Amino acid sequence: MKQRKSFSAVFSAILILIFLVGCGSPTSSTEKVVNVYTARNYEVDKTLFKQFSEQSGIKVNVIEGKAEELIERIKREGENSTADLFITVDGGILNRAKEQGILQPVESNVVNQQVPKNLRDKENHWIGLSTRARVIVYAKDRVKPGDLSTYEDLASNKWKGKVLVRSSTSLYNQSLVASLIELIGEKKTEEWAKEIVTNMGRTPEGGDRDQVKGIAAGIGDVAIMNTYYVGGMLNSKDPEEVKAAKQVGVFFPNQETTGTHINISGVGLTKYSKNEKSAIKLIEFLTGKEAQETIAKENFEFPVNTQAKLPELLKSWGEFKVQEIDFAKLGVHNKKALEILNKAGWK
């Protein structure tokens, strides 16, 4: 009997040991993985994820989708979510993700040193990865830079039938209008939107690249668009895009007043991340000088890390004063921005 009890005790101990080892193994394996839910679909991001994996040994799994759908998916999955990081464009959407409770603060001195406070959430629920300026692009042969000044000026009679811009469904336009609501108020913004519609050279169509093509075709003389599209067109494999882009200049509006509107791409650490340490390492990598310079060079976005050098093209556009508003306000005013756009007849 004693021998049986002794054998039983030893066997039980072995089982417990196996169980404990088994419980420990997933933790060690998951530390080598980061699951990214992203609304950014750029080749440069894939390149950087690959570089990070090669340098760190941490595998990056990517799930792409629209921002709102990814937010809802993370909410629906709750504690069972496999998402470690949420990446998207637009400060308003990043703030929405925070308000929906799917993010947690990022605790990293490295990140705090690499990214200025104004390009991070106040509580570090999201971290800026890059910025893009929404500027006025103009026909070099028909418009002089001295003729341009502000977003508001595009509503004046001298631009009647000459303004090109994409539709009101564009989040870029919605956030620009939201920024104007914050800076000049609802009434003036509504008046501005109505006059912009009056000055349009055509009913809004296509994306930002199509506005450049419209200028090249003589449909309009000026367009509201993001700078990185100009960079993409100048470096396109499509000769027609290159030809069109060479015919336009880049002008940063509101330099004497509120500054040029910028928006942000950012990343947040999910509330129920299972690979928190590895996820933070990826954020530190993406906001580091080398990765930031790659984003600027390959995708023509402005880096958030001030130590990153700008490529020659971005340098050639010159320095500019940036609109100073809380990016969260882009989300706060989004509903009103849509109301104003619809009321103005901005298709």
Quick check: do 30-131+262-316 and 132-259+320-344 share a fold?
yes
For the segment 214-236, what is each residue's pLDDT rounded down to a tens digit? 999 999 999 999 999 999 999 99
Q: Say which range, 17-26, 95-104, 278-287, has the weakest mean pLDDT.
A: 17-26
What are the domain boundaries of the chain?
30-131+262-316, 132-259+320-344
Place of tokens 């894939």: 46
CA–CA dist 326, 316 (Å, integer): 28
Q: Where are the beta strands (DSSP E) in the chain?
A: 33-38, 59-64, 85-89, 103-104, 127-139, 163-164, 222-226, 248-251, 262-270, 302-303
For the segment 235-262, what is each residue's pLDDT rounded down to a tens digit? 999 999 999 999 999 999 999 999 999 9
Residue 31, pLDDT above cutoff 60: no
- What are the respective helix, strand and coil percentages of the chain, to the nearest 5? 50, 15, 30
pLDDT-derived band at 2 (thresholds 50, 70, 90) equals very low
For the segment 289-346, what is each residue's pLDDT rounded down to a tens digit? 999 999 999 999 999 999 999 999 999 999 999 999 999 999 999 999 999 999 999 9
Arithmetic mean of pLDDT, 93-102: 96
CA dihedral 224, 226, 229, 231 (to 10 degrees): 110
pLDDT score of 19: 38
- Are 284 and 143 contacting, i.e. CB atoms less than 8 angstroms apart? no
- Report the percent of the chain where pLDDT is more than 90: 91
Mean confidence (pLDDT) of the chain:
91
CA–CA dist 295, 284 (Å, integer): 14
pTM of this prediction? Answer: 0.87
52 token code pair: 């990070």
For the segment 173-214, what is each residue's pLDDT rounded down to a tens digit? 999 999 999 999 999 999 999 999 999 999 999 999 999 999
**Quick one: which of 100, 99, 64, 110 has its CA closest to 85?**
64
CATH architecture of 30-131+262-316: 3-Layer(aba) Sandwich (3.40)
Residue 330: count other Cβ atoms within 10 Å of its Cβ: 29
pLDDT score of 6: 44
Q: Is 159 exposed, middle or buried (0-12, 13-18, 19+ CB in 10 A)?
A: buried
Q: Which fold has domain 132-259+320-344?
A: D-Maltodextrin-Binding Protein; domain 2 (3.40.190)
pLDDT score of 14: 38
What is 120-155 written as a DSSP string? B-TTSSSEEEEEEEEEEEEETTT--GGG---TGGGG
pLDDT score of 317: 95
Q: Where are the beta strands (DSSP E) in 29-126?
A: 33-38, 59-64, 85-89, 103-104
Arithmetic mean of pLDDT, 126-147: 97
Q: What are phi and psi of 39, to 5 degrees?
A: -100, 0
pLDDT score of 169: 95
- Report the percent of the chain where pLDDT is more than 70: 91
Arithmetic mean of pLDDT, 100-123: 96
For the segment 32-51, what is each residue's pLDDT rounded down to a tens digit? 999 999 999 999 999 999 99
Residue 105, pLDDT above cutoff 80: yes
Place of tokens 């989004």: 334
227 token code pair: 């700078």
Residue 284, pLDDT above cutoff 90: yes
CA–CA dist 263, 135 (Å, integer): 11
